[in-house]
Amino acid sequence: MIFILFFSVQLILAQDLIQRDIFEVCYSTKKQQPLWLVYEVECQDGAFSRKGLNFKKDTQFAGITSNNADYYKNVWDKGHLAPAADFNCSYKKLKATFNYLNCALQHENLNRGPWKNLEKYERKISETYAVRVRVVLEFDEQSLLLTSGALVPSYFVKILNFNNKVQAYRFPNNASVSHTKWEDYLLTNPYPIIEGCFEDNSY
């Protein structure tokens, strides 16, 4: 069973609410990470190759994002928030997922383990229902500040909306998720959503 404690925090308006073709993202240039991102699953079994595709800076975004230096020789994967496979029925949209606005510092055990399998689940249910997804990155006093400048999220939350149902999953962003199942992280209580693009100014 997962328990969550909620604390009063000081929130400030984040100026970087960005709409792109396949996702909407609230981005923190201070943390050099997304705060949340929303998308809809569009593809279940696309077959375009990812060969030669690498994350790029968004040319329309003037702010600072993470970059290759943040992911160099460490345990942090370049985690897609809007998954490449969810948009792989169009090469143009597949390519659009390789955008640093859609990239987060995600522990390799999470990205390649239960998070990846949860992505498979959302594609499976999208065969029957329209699936809208919100990914929330949580930061706290334990969040690691890299020497390269970016702040590592402490938790990743994925909220699935489909068929008038809401399912929320909350994962610690560390090695403890190794060899676990995504089902283990289902929250039994509603996850609170703060409307708008805000960030906690404490971290």
Segments making up each domain of the chain, as ranges: 17-200
By 3-state DSSP, what share of the chain in percent is helix, strand and coil, each rounded to 5? 20, 30, 50
What mean pLDDT is predicted for residues 32-53? 96
What mean pLDDT is predicted for residues 182-194? 95
Distance CA 124, CA 44 (A): 7
CB 29 within 8 A of CB 67: no
**Residue 145 three-state SS:** strand
Q: Which residues are catalytic?
A: 80
pLDDT at residue 131, as a whole number: 98
Pairing verdict, β 103-107 and 165-172 = unpaired
pLDDT at residue 203, as a whole number: 80
Band of pLDDT at residue 16, cut at 50, 70 and 90 = confident
Distance CA 82, CA 201 (A): 25
pLDDT at residue 190, as a whole number: 92
CB 27 within 8 A of CB 35: yes
Of the candidate ranges 26-40, 59-73, 97-111, 188-202, the one whose mean pLDDT is the lowest: 188-202
Please give the structure tokens belonging to residue 41. 């699953």
Query: Is the model's pLDDT at 2 over the cut of 50?
Result: no
Averaged pLDDT score across all residues of the chain: 93
CATH 3.10.310.30 assigned to domain 17-200? The reply is no
Band of pLDDT at residue 200, cut at 50, 70 and 90 = confident
Burial class (CB in 10 A: 0-12, 13-18, 19+), 169: buried
Count of CB atoms situated within 10 Å of the CB of 94: 21
The tens digit of pLDDT for each residue in 97-129 reads 999 999 999 999 999 999 999 999 999 999 999
